[in-house]
Structure 1
Amino acid sequence: MTGIEIRHSLVNGSATEAANLVLPSNFVELDWENLDYLGWRDSHSPHLGYIIRWQGEKPMGIVVREADGPLSKRRMMMCQLCRATHTGHGVSLFSARRAGEAGMNGNTVGTYICANLGCSGNIRVDVPQASYYSDPESVLAEKVMGLETRVSGFMLDVMRP
């Protein structure tokens, strides 16, 4: 995936947002084999983030915005994409403007996501070696499938008129 492909993939971003998008600093070194989607925070506009995934043969991306105001530091929060739990500022509420006319009318959709948008890495932590985890590879495959389903669902919500 190239920077140009990423900029053209944004379904809910303006031309200005696409032009001003700052790619992740490690973009050329990304481990594409272990990325279920590419998610990162914009280093020049930290309230902005991007989620890009393959939709068939081409990338599809959305711009997300972190909600103002911190979440409780004492409360355990769960990311709705990877289902990882975090304390402190590990999870943030992100909203995405809907695509098309709905977005122009101010309609948004939101969910709680890992603050660093790094869910692909979060699901790849070592699986505990307990008797009910007979096959760590099948557990990972199930986590990947669940993450891909939830990311796809969130992106489809953004596309919905």
Structure 2
Amino acid sequence: MDAAPFPEPSVVSRQRECPRRGGWPPWPAQRSRCRVTSPTPADRTTRSCPTDRNTVKPLTDNEIRAALVNCSRREAKQASLPRDLDALSWEELDYLGWVDRSNPQRAYAVVPVDDEPVAFALRASERTRKASAMCAWCEDVFATADVRLWVARRAGAAGREGNSLGTLVHADFSCSQHVRRLPNAMEGGLDPASLVERRIDELRSRSMAFARRVRNGA
């Protein structure tokens, strides 16, 4: 039986869990280099920030569909997935998010939670949004022009009863890029690499908290 349509959320949730200082737990560690980009869109030069990070494990179409917690089997089967998963830079993704090609009001995200990928469907809220807003997941103070209110139906009985959860996230789910941008002098001080790592930890903590609430229906 198909799940009921998404309702409007009663509140916009902004998770503020403390970042895990021991590293990113869910999936096997992958050695990578943190690519740090400049904060100015007109000057997107890149620099390398040496660090060992655990990032999103590469997933197949079937694995993503099986991980969708707030979709019926038919909805999961019909979900529009990224065209070429093999071409994604998985080592630079803290979560995977994309907009449905056939319906820009619908999107999906996959977040590692408790050693497992948790995927969920989202829809763009019909509420009028402000001209600018800060993303609740990456909290980038510069990239505020294209942030949307996304709504996820809770999994299980809570979702069937019409309960949902809303959060402000970049329209293109580009948080992983924003947390890796080069900090300015006021932000990064003498240790910009540490700030980038802290941003990454906090992004993972916030996105994981949201995914857990969707999955648990609470």
Give the TM-score normalised by the residue count of structure 2. Answer: 0.67
Change beyond 3 A, Cα 1:131–1:4: closer
Alignment partner, residue 102 of structure 1: 158
Aligned 8 A contact 1:47 1:65 in 2: yes
Following the alignment from structure 1 to structure 2, what is the Cα–Cα distance between the partners of residues 71 and 4?
34
- How far the C-alpha of 1:56 sits from its partner, in A, is 4.2
User: Which consecutive residues of structure 2, in runs of 5 or more, have no partner in the other structure?
Assistant: 1-58
SS at match of 2:195: helix
What is the RMSD of the two structures over their aligned residues, measured on CA atoms? 1.8
Q: Would you say how many aligned residue pairs link Structure 1 and Structure 2?
A: 158
Residue 156 of structure 1 aligns to which amino acid in structure 2?
R
Following the alignment from structure 2 to structure 1, what is the Cα–Cα distance between the partners of residues 147 and 117?
25
Alignment partner, residue 125 of structure 1: 181
Give the TM-score normalised by the residue count of structure 1. Answer: 0.89
Q: Which runs of 4+ in 1 moved over 3 A?
A: 85-88, 129-132
Q: Identity rate of aligned residues, in percent?
A: 34
Change beyond 3 A, Cα 1:132–1:107: closer
Say which of 53, 56, 64 aligns to 2:122. 64
Following the alignment from structure 1 to structure 2, what is the Cα–Cα distance between the partners of residues 2 and 87?
32
- How far the C-alpha of 1:118 sits from its partner, in A, is 1.6
Aligned 8 A contact 2:159 2:217 in 1: no
Alignment partner, residue 3 of structure 1: 61
- How far the C-alpha of 1:160 sits from its partner, in A, is 3.0
SS at match of 1:50: strand
SS at match of 1:77: coil
Change beyond 3 A, Cα 1:79–1:139: same
Alignment partner, residue 72 of structure 2: 14
